Structure 1
Amino acid sequence: MILLYTIALRLYFMAIYIAALFNQKASQWINGRKSQQLIHINNSIWFHFASLGEFEQGRPILEALRTLHPDKKIVVSFFSPSGYEIRKNTPLADFVYYLPLDTAKNALQFIDAIQPEMAVFTKYEYWYHFFNETHKRQIPLYIVSGIFRPKQIFFKWYGGLHRKILSFVTHFFLQDQASRQLLESVNVTNTTVSGDTRFDRVWANAQHPKQIPGIAQFINGQKVFIAGSTWPQDEALLATLPQLYPDWKFIFAPHEIDEEKITNLINLLPAATTIRYSELNSSDQNLKSQISNLKSIIIDNIGMLSSLYGYGNIAYIGGGFGVGIHNTLEAAAFGLPVVFGPNYQKFNEARELITLKAGFSINDVHQLKGIVDTLVNDEAFYSVTGKKAEDYVREHVGATEIILKKIAPQSS
């Protein structure tokens, strides 16, 4: 089984290597790993995140351990360039690396270099050789905000190697009871249902919102529709809204911000009333004087969205017409009703927000217009949905405290 695992990884590496010839993200994945040099340290705390979303999810634990152990070096690793490139200079870590490909040699060299006394992985990513190496060295390995589903390979008849990977984990901190029951079905019992640390992160963010230069001037006291982490399929529907609601402002924050994607989005919107965020700081005095009269703004940078929701009244969360929706909780924490596409079933919080009638799934432009029209014109309905969204987040805060009592008991 390990041979098949190794072959699959090699094939994956080859596919990315070929893709790197014409894809910037794949190129960063290859070149970033090729160029990095490990610095040897002692007694670090190692955090691994798949990408930027998992970084934000695990951030409350990272911040807490940084505070509790100021003498320890913090090592952060990422699998994806979208996490590494944006957080490679984070002050929360002493060293930030790409996680090398999961081979026995790479795992040995990486762990030899960083010498972790604890490893924390957020949500998922189960790597045989890295987990095995921590297990052999008796380094505590924790999964936080873990979540499992019946279709995963761990629960298939052919998933023996992946069940072995689970056995290397010291303790699982899970989002829900269903995940615990699935793990118990394969004789994994070292679990705690702690909840999802994302609630802690988004709630803290909403309580101390950041002010974003230029946004208040653009809004000019009007109500705001925020479209976050959108993809082209979302944007084709959303572009119909600005003309329907002339008294509203629209903020689009695409998931991908390369020039082609931004240009395509601009072309969907009325050019005379649309601006890029990067243009807000223009020295053009005529442009500055017209900002409050603009209708739509396109965010052409990464890292601003979680604060932008603080300016909003309704949020649309992208990704639901693709592999799955993005983070609904960031908007809900600010008391915004959230709307998203049909592919949301893998996300507990989306299902629960729908049950509470604080979240709404749409399949087409007609359903989008219908729910937005109700939220815009029925003030009582809008107020109730927003409060339900905010209450839902507040009531689920607390996972970080539960986890810290286990992995850093001196903090209790």
Structure 2
Amino acid sequence: MLWLYNFGIFFYSLIIKVLANFNPKAKLFIQGRQKLFQRISQEVSPEHKHIWFHFASLGEFEQGRPVLEKVKEKYKEKKIIITFFSPSGYEVRKNYPGVDGIFYLPLDTASNAELFISLINPEIAIFTKYEFWYHYFHLLQKKDIPLFLISGIFRPDQIFFKWYGGFQRKILKCITHLFVQNETSLHLLEKIHLKNISLSGDTRFDRVFENASSVKGVPLVEAFVGKNPVFIAGSTWPQDEFLLQSLIAQYPDWKVIIAPHEIGKSHLSQLEQLFPSAIKYSQLQNASVTSNILIIDNIGLLSGLYQYGKIAYIGGGFGAGIHNTLEAAAFGLPVIFGPEYHKFQEAKDLISLKAAISIRNEYDLVKAFENFNSSNQYGKTAKAYVEQKKGATMGIMLEMEKYLS
């Protein structure tokens, strides 16, 4: 199976090079890895031990950030390296302060893993939620370097739990300690005879709670919303936006903030065609605001905008899966999203608490909106849920400290 895995990595590298000719993300993926080892060798001293945090993308960074910042706070003398697999994580957080290096992760080949690990000389490695790379994991185990998975979540339909998933199970067995989000994950891992598993919960609750507790105002947005009720649509995709069009037309007394997941020119142009009266965030400084619709055309602002909202719509539910519902819930907003939410425990929990509603069409959307508009209790329930679930970071730190003396 290793030869098939290696072929898959090789084939992926070829495909991404082809896509780089016309796909901006693929282009960044390739460009960010050019002369990568040369850059690492110039910026990182292999004589020093490093704590290595790896994140697949921006969402995983925010998820693992409470642990990262707790390590920074408690072990000020330690040096920290961060890697990302995806451009959407690296490009947004490449200037994150207080660490000793931020890089793309080289593709998982035996030679790349050997060179990368020799250059950063990790004391321990922490991966968030997923990404299971055979050569990196195997080499860390071989060198007796502790490897942690935090906020892991597993489902019965994953290859680890199939009769033909022996190779993937072998990767999991390289992990020193797994911190998982729910009991389902714990029981699944126990069934394949893995040990050193802790039911720690999800560190995202710590992150969103902290964000809601220390959020700063956004003056331009405050001026835009005034005293109107505010509906916030976060991380939206085109199918979400088409649905929102009819809802927004029915409630002209509401202010609406749309923060699309992609802010490329073509998508922004499409949004402006859907909502011709909208104003973009970049235009607020130099324009008199007469519109009730604001389009956020930058990255990194959304998590603080929920402070102004009353009801939130979370995008992605008509595609691969919904985006972050917890950021909105932490501010006391009930949430609405599409049908693809079953991979997300917090979405299922919020639905069971009646603080979230899944929709399939325009009729469902209007009905959900009217339901949440009828009472503030739904938002209070969402906020209480987040507060109840926080605390995963502390449990993870207690175990990791055994390896960070």
Q: How does 1:9-408 map to 2 (within 5 A)?
A: 9-36=9-36, 37-39=39-41, 40-41=44-45, 42-271=48-277, 274-282=278-286, 287=287, 290-291=288-289, 293-376=290-373, 378=374, 382-408=375-401
Contact 1:404 1:411 in 2 (8 A): no
- On the 8 A contact 1:405/1:411 being kept in 2, the answer is no
Q: Contact (CA 8 Å) 1:251, 1:296: kept in 2 or not?
A: yes
Q: Give the root-mean-square deviation of aligned CA atoms.
A: 1.3
CA offsets, 1:249-274, max 9 Å, x none? Answer: 00000000001101101111142xx1
State the SS of the aligned residue for 1:253.
strand
CA distance in 1, matches of 2:397, 2:21: 44
Aligned identity (percent) is 53
SS where residue 193 of structure 2 aligns? coil
Cα-to-partner distance string for 1:195-237 (whole Å, 9 max, x where unaligned): 0000000000011112113001000111100000000000000
Runs of at least 5 residues in structure 2 that lack an aligned partner in the other structure: none
Deviations 1:282-307 (A, max 9, x none): 2xxxx2xx32x321000001111110
SS in 1 for 2:381: helix
Give, as a single letter, the amino acid of the residue that structure 2 aligns with 1:26.
A
CA drift at 1:410: 9.8
* DSSP 3-state at the match of 1:344: coil
Distance 2:319 2:403 in 1: 44
Letter in 2 for 1:190: N
| Aligned positions, number | 399
> Which TM-score applies when normalising by structure 1?
0.95
Distance 2:119 2:75 in 1: 20
Partner Cα separation in structure 2 for residue 226 and residue 122 of structure 1: 28
* Shift, 1:409, TM fit: 5.0
- Are 2:58 and 2:88, in contact at CA under 8 Å, matched by a contact in 1? yes
1:92 Cα deviation after fit = 3.8
Q: Is the 8 A contact 1:44 1:116 kept in 2?
A: yes
Q: 1:90 aligns to what SS in structure 2?
A: coil
- Go from structure 1 to structure 2 and tell me whether the alpha carbon gap of 1:187 and 1:143 turns closer, same or farther (over 3 Å shift): same
* Structure 1: gaps of 5 or more residues: none
TM-score, with length taken from structure 2:
0.97
Q: Deviations over 1:306-337 (max 9, x none)?
A: 10011111000000000000000000000000
- The 1-side partners of 2:163 and 2:403 are apart by 41
Equivalent-residue separation in structure 2 for 1:368 and 1:33 (angstroms)? 43
Contact 1:122 1:146 in 2 (8 A): yes
Shift of 1:68: 1.2
